């Protein structure tokens, strides 16, 4: 394990722009010159108004968005790994073993029961199915998802229930780097509490966490540091990525 | 074999002209060299319709010599219409001696049987073949079946046998049972009963197959390995009968069911009339 | 923590393959690299050349230029430099092809069990009992009633026929599977079931797949990586979510934005 004082993740001068070909090649700059470091066992919370580019940063760290400029590096005992230059196929293993992502919304696969959604990251690593199932069920129980729902596809679940399935799926594989995009958004107090515990346990085992939390109570309890994003944005960047999403879609 | 002294004036010896016979013999040499491989040949019109043995007759005509003794059988019998007609045909156009005795014949043309009496070295058995291609049932394209043979893609042959067992509980194919010749080519042995399949294996005689409509010929040379396709847990088996032949009492021959009256009476007798008769004479 | 090994062995490669039927028709100078255990989706509209590319990659059509290289256990094989015998043996033994129309990939005249058993028999399996056991096992895996093993595919619905075709293809556990619009032509409810089943099989068998589809939702669910084709050329490649969530090329942006989301 890397020494706790050494960062696990370094982001340097990160730049992201969307070019909208459908809008006459209009360029939307949504992030400029963002730098941060994140150490194992640390939870860094991104702060700033909605649409400032917090989710965009997480998506770049997860490989879902491409990097326009700057560098993203992971530091391992035996050397660095640049994420911004990684070939696409390298992400398969990286996402399986190193970088986990809990988004706000569950992408429902039709017909797949909740428990199968949760165990999938373990099965992908070759964990024995019976063992994976035990762990998944324990996780769902902990998140107070009624047992009768476990074998049902989450398509018909409420927003909160879907989110808990998603959280279980995100935390079960114990990735060394976890990206959390408002994991508590539609949860009640009891379940928020469970998520706070899960985050603290992840920190305790040395995971580095980068999160977005709108709930100030949760934020205050899990955050080691806050990173306000607005100073990184130039004055020219009046249009928000939220608008950008609308224009692009 | 010469062209002199044809018995029926106006015809060359054994009906076909010498060029055609040479062409067919060249095909036969190739067939012998590649056991089980189907060789195309330029089939000629024969004075009878397809389906009556035109392929077998062209082969017989091509290999027949003036001193040869010919036997013709149809489903084992020497006295059925097809056998009688073909025998008469060669008597007339080749003037050769004919016989019904298996042991005395040099050349035997057959439809759907192999004689019960073991053949010996030097004898020729010529089969009449309706459909020479064993893969045709599943693959209509000739181009594709030729490629399948070339590449030994024979999995589909077992699909057919599998389907037999799935439907009937056993391999229900009883005639034209596919064989593999010399460990290489899957071959249709013509519609002989599967009872005769074991006789193909290491036979001392040269076996030639001719398909007139399809214009294909192939061969199983003497002493060639011939295996009937099967499954480990459903091995190839031949037919058996509860009763012996009602005429000669043989228990090891292929029997035909004969209806004796219109009240359901029936009996089983050897399909090989010559064999049956010779046994009866021995006993008598 | 040590640096993870992110490299994956290459399984299939196209090096500048071209096959043009006319200007912009077919495909031109395509480079592809499929890694082991990867599902690569080839997406594009009809006429984009994706089906031609599939035929070139799957050994069914010789390219005008370029090479298709398969990294087999014995080393690299140039698909169109090896003989036809070898190529067909490869298709039969190590590869599999799932057609869009199950009737193209099934033998309709023989039972479901015979359909599943055919590839095993082609590989030399000669035990009826074992063929039958494999048939029943695979019918179960693709959620067909094993009691229908002796029924003809004609008596199955379209979705069932497609699952039967998948069982027939995967029974020999091929290293590489080509799928041509595997859910095309099926009802939406039937599609969902098939997609889920394919996902499970891909993971359980560790399949490497080249998937051709015009349906971006199918691509999102099945593919790890996407290649976008247009007028015979590759306009963009990347991780599936990169292509669908952050498309770079004008055409990809148009394609992604044209999808109806309910």
Q: How confident is the model at residue A234 (pLDDT cuts 50, 70, 90)?
A: very low
Q: What separation in angstroms does the CA of C129 have from each of A95, C112, C126? A: 43, 15, 9
Cα of A145 to nearest chain C Cα, Å: 23
Nearest alpha-carbon partner for A10 in A64, A77, A81, A92: A81
Q: What residue numbers bound the domain in which C240 lies?
A: 10-105+176-260
The answer to whether residues B183 and B69 belong to one domain is yes
Place of tokens 């082969």: B59
Whether residue C146 lies inside any domain: the answer is no
Give C176-228 pLDDT, tens digit per residue: 999 999 988 788 888 888 888 898 899 889 999 999 999 999 999 999 999 99
Whether residue B45 lies inside any domain: the answer is yes
The answer to whether residues B131 and B244 belong to one domain is no
Nearest alpha-carbon partner for A170 in A226, A107, A244, A76: A107
A and C touch with 3+ CB pairs <8 Å, answer: yes
Task: Say what the alpha-carbon torsion angle C253, C259, C260, C262 is, to the nearest 10 degrees.
Answer: -90
Minimum-distance CB partner of A124 among C7, C38, C203:
C203
- Subunits with 3+ Cβ pairs within 8 Å of B are C
Q: What is the mean pLDDT of residues C141-163?
A: 95
The answer to whether residues B29 and B91 belong to one domain is yes
Q: Decide if B95 is catalytic.
A: no
Whether residue B162 lies inside any domain: the answer is no
Kindly identify which residue of chain A lies nearest to residue C38, measuring between CA atoms. Answer: A89
Supply the mean pLDDT for chain B.
94
* C208, C176 contact by CB (below 8 A): yes
Q: What is the mean pLDDT of residues B36-62?
A: 95
Q: What is the mean pLDDT of residues A75-92?
A: 94
Give B266-278 pLDDT, tens digit per residue: 999 999 999 999 9
Model confidence at B87: pLDDT above 90: yes
Q: Which structure tokens are listed for C238? A: 């990347």
Q: State the complex-level ipTM.
A: 0.88
d(CA B40, CA B57): 16
Minimum-distance CB partner of C111 among B154, B163, B234:
B163
Tally of domains within chain C: 1
Q: Which structure tokens are listed for B227? A: 């295996």
Instruction: State whether B159 and C84 contact (CB < 8 Å).
Output: no
Q: Identify which has the larger pLDDT, B7 or B49.
A: B49
The answer to whether residues B248 and B198 belong to one domain is no
Q: What is the mean pLDDT of residues B164-176?
A: 93
Q: Decide if B65 is catalytic.
A: no
Residues 6+ apart with CB under 8 A from B142: B133
**Rounded percentage of chain A residues whose pLDDT exceeds 90:** 73
Strands (E), C91-139: 95-98
Kindly identify which residue of chain B lies nearest to residue C85, measuring between CA atoms. Answer: B151
Whether residue B108 lies inside any domain: the answer is yes
Whether residue C131 lies inside any domain: the answer is no
Model confidence at B247: pLDDT above 70: yes
Model confidence at A231: pLDDT above 60: no
Instruction: State whether C192 and A79 contact (CB < 8 Å).
Output: no
Q: How confident is the model at residue A155 (pLDDT cuts 50, 70, 90)?
A: confident
Cα of A217 to nearest chain C Cα, Å: 31
Whether residue C147 lies inside any domain: the answer is no
Whether residue B9 lies inside any domain: the answer is no
Q: Decide if B42 is catalytic.
A: no
- State residue C153's pLDDT score: 96
Q: Which structure tokens are listed for B251? A: 């228990």
Phi-psi region at C37: left, alpha or beta (left = phi > 0; alpha = psi -120 to 50): left
| Catalytic residue, candidates B36, B56, B210, B212 | B36
Cα of C239 to nearest chain A Cα, Å: 6
> Residues 217..236 of B with a Cβ closer than 8 Å to C: which?
230-234
Instruction: State whether C110 and B159 contact (CB < 8 Å).
Output: yes
- State residue A239's pLDDT score: 35
Kindly identify which residue of chain A lies nearest to residue C251, measuring between CA atoms. Answer: A21
d(CA B22, CA B273): 34
Whether residue C153 lies inside any domain: the answer is no
Whether residue B69 lies inside any domain: the answer is yes
Q: Decide if B43 is catalytic.
A: no
Model confidence at C262: pLDDT above 70: no
Tally of domains within chain B: 2
d(CA C198, CA C202): 6
Whether residue B141 lies inside any domain: the answer is no
CATH numbers and ranges of domains, chain A: 9-246 (3.40.50.300)
Instruction: State whether C237 and A88 contact (CB < 8 Å).
Output: yes
- Tell which of C92, C128, C146 to mutate to test the B interface (max B CBs under 10 Å): C128
DSSP letter for each residue of A179-228: EEESTTTT--HHHHHHHHHHHHHHHHTT-EEEEE---HHHHHHH-SEEEE
The answer to whether residues B125 and B71 belong to one domain is yes
Give B97-143 pLDDT, tens digit per residue: 999 999 999 999 999 999 999 999 999 999 999 999 999 988 889 99
The answer to whether residues B119 and B195 belong to one domain is yes
d(CA A135, CA A137): 5
**Rounded percentage of chain B residues whose pLDDT exceeds 90:** 89
Whether residue C36 lies inside any domain: the answer is yes
Whether residue C155 lies inside any domain: the answer is no
d(CA B228, CA B31): 20
Whether residue B150 lies inside any domain: the answer is no
Give B187-236 pLDDT, tens digit per residue: 999 999 999 999 999 999 999 999 999 999 999 999 999 999 999 999 99
The answer to whether residues B212 and B123 belong to one domain is yes
Whether residue C26 lies inside any domain: the answer is yes
Kindly identify which residue of chain C lies nearest to residue B152, measuring between CA atoms. Answer: C85
Minimum-distance CB partner of B166 among C89, C113, C123:
C113
At residue C132, what are phi and psi to the nearest 5 degrees? Answer: -65, -45
Q: What is the mean pLDDT of residues C139-162?
A: 95
Place of tokens 């027949």: B64
Whether residue C160 lies inside any domain: the answer is no
Supply the mean pLDDT for chain A.
88
Cα of A131 to nearest chain C Cα, Å: 16
Instruction: State whether C3 and A86 contact (CB < 8 Å).
Output: no
**Which residues are paired to A82 by β-bridges?**
A73
> Residues 11..40 of C with a Cβ closer than 8 Å to A: which?
33, 35, 37-38
Model confidence at B284: pLDDT above 70: no
Whole-model pTM: value is 0.87
Q: Which residues of C touch A1 (CB under 8 A)?
A: 1
Q: What residue numbers bound the domain in which B258 lies?
A: 239-283
- State residue B138's pLDDT score: 84
What CATH number should be reported for the domain holding residue C256? 3.40.50.300
Kindly identify which residue of chain C lies nearest to residue A248, measuring between CA atoms. Answer: C257
- State residue B8's pLDDT score: 64
Q: Decide if B248 is catalytic.
A: yes
The answer to whether residues B200 and B246 belong to one domain is no
C and B touch with 3+ CB pairs <8 Å, answer: yes
The answer to whether residues B76 and B203 belong to one domain is yes
Instruction: State whether C241 and A63 contact (CB < 8 Å).
Output: yes
């Amino acid at each position: 394990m890397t020494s706790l004082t050494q960062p696990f993740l370094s982001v340097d001068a990160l730049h992201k722009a969307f070019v909208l070909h459908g809008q006459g090649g209009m360029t939307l700059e949504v992030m400029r010159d963002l730098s941060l470091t994140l150490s194992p066992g640390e939870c860094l919370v991104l702060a700033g108004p909605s649409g400032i580019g917090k989710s965009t940063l997480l998506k770049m760290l997860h490989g879902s968005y491409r990097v326009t400029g700057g560098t993203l590096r992971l530091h391992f005992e035996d050397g660095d790994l640049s994420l911004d230059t990684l070939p696409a196929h390298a992400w398969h293993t990286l996402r399986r073993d190193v970088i986990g992502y809990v988004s706000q919304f569950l992408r429902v696969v039709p017909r797949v029961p909740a428990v199968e959604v949760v165990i999938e990251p373990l099965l992908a690593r070759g964990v024995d199915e019976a063992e994976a199932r035990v762990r998944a069920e324990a996780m769902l129980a902990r998140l107070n998802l009624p047992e009768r729902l476990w074998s049902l596809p989450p398509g018909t679940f409420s927003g909160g229930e879907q989110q808990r399935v998603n959280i279980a799926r995100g935390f079960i594989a114990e990735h060394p780097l976890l990206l959390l995009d408002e994991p508590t958004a539609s949860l009640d107090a009891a379940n928020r509490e469970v998520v706070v515990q899960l985050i603290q346990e992840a920190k305790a085992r040395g995971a580095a966490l980068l999160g977005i939390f709108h709930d100030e109570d949760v934020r205050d309890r899990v955050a080691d540091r806050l990173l306000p994003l607005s100073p990184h944005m130039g004055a020219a960047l009046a249009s928000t990525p939220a608008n950008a999403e609308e224009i692009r879609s | 074999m010469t062209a002199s002294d044809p018995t029926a004036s106006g015809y060359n010896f054994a009906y076909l002209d010498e060029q055609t016979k040479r062409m067919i013999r060249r095909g036969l040499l190739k067939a012998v060299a590649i056991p089980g491989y189907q060789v195309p040949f330029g089939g000629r019109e024969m004075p009878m319709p397809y389906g009556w043995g035109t392929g077998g007759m062209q082969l017989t005509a091509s290999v027949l010599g003036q001193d040869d003794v010919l036997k013709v059988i149809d489903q084992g019998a020497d006295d059925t219409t097809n056998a009688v007609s073909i025998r008469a045909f060669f008597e007339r156009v080749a003037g050769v001696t004919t016989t019904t005795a298996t042991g005395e014949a040099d050349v035997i043309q057959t439809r759907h049987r192999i004689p019960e009496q073991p053949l010996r070295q030097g004898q020729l058995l010529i089969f009449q073949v309706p459909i020479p291609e064993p893969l045709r049932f599943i693959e209509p394209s000739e181009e594709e079946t030729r490629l399948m043979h070339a590449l030994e893609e024979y999995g589909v042959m077992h699909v057919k046998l599998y389907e037999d067992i799935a439907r009937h509980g056993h391999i229900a194919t009883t005639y034209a049972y596919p064989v593999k010749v010399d460990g290489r080519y899957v071959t249709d042995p013509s519609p002989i009963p599967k009872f005769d399949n074991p006789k193909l294996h290491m036979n001392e005689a040269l076996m030639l197959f001719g398909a007139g409509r399809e214009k294909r010929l192939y061969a199983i040379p003497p002493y060639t390995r011939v295996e009937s396709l099967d499954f480990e847990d459903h091995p190839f088996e031949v037919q058996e009968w509860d009763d012996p032949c009602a005429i000669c009492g043989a228990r090891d021959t292929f029997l035909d069911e004969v209806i004796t009256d219109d009240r359901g009476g029936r009996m089983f007798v050897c399909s090989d009339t010559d064999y049956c008769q010779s046994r009866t004479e021995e006993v008598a | 923590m040590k640096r993870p090994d992110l490299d994956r062995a290459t399984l299939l490669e196209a090096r500048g393959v071209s096959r043009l039927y006319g200007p912009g028709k077919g495909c031109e100078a395509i480079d592809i690299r499929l890694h082991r255990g990867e599902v690569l989706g080839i997406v594009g509209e009809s006429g984009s050349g994706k089906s031609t590319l599939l035929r070139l990659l799957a050994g069914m059509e010789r390219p005008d230029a370029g090479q298709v290289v398969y990294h087999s256990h014995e080393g690299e094989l140039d698909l169109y430099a090896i003989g036809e015998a070898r190529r067909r043996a490869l298709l039969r033994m190590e590869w599999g092809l799932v057609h869009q129309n199950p009737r193209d990939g099934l033998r309709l005249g023989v039972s479901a069990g015979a359909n599943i058993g055919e590839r095993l028999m082609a590989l030399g399996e000669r035990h009826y009992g074992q063929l039958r056991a494999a048939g029943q096992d695979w019918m179960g895996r693709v959620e067909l009633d094993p009691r229908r093993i002796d029924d003809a595919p004609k008596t199955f619905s379209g979705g069932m026929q497609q699952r039967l075709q998948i069982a027939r293809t995967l029974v020999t556990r091929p290293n590489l599977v080509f799928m041509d619009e595997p859910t095309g032509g099926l009802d939406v409810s039937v599609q969902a079931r098939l997609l889920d089943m394919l996902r499970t099989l891909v993971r359980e068998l560790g399949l490497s797949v080249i998937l051709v589809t015009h349906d971006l939702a199918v691509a999102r669910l099945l593919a790890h990586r996407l290649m976008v084709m247009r007028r015979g050329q590759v306009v963009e490649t990347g991780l599936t979510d990169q292509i669908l969530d952050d498309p770079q090329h004008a055409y990809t942006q148009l394609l992604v934005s044209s999808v109806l989301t309910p």
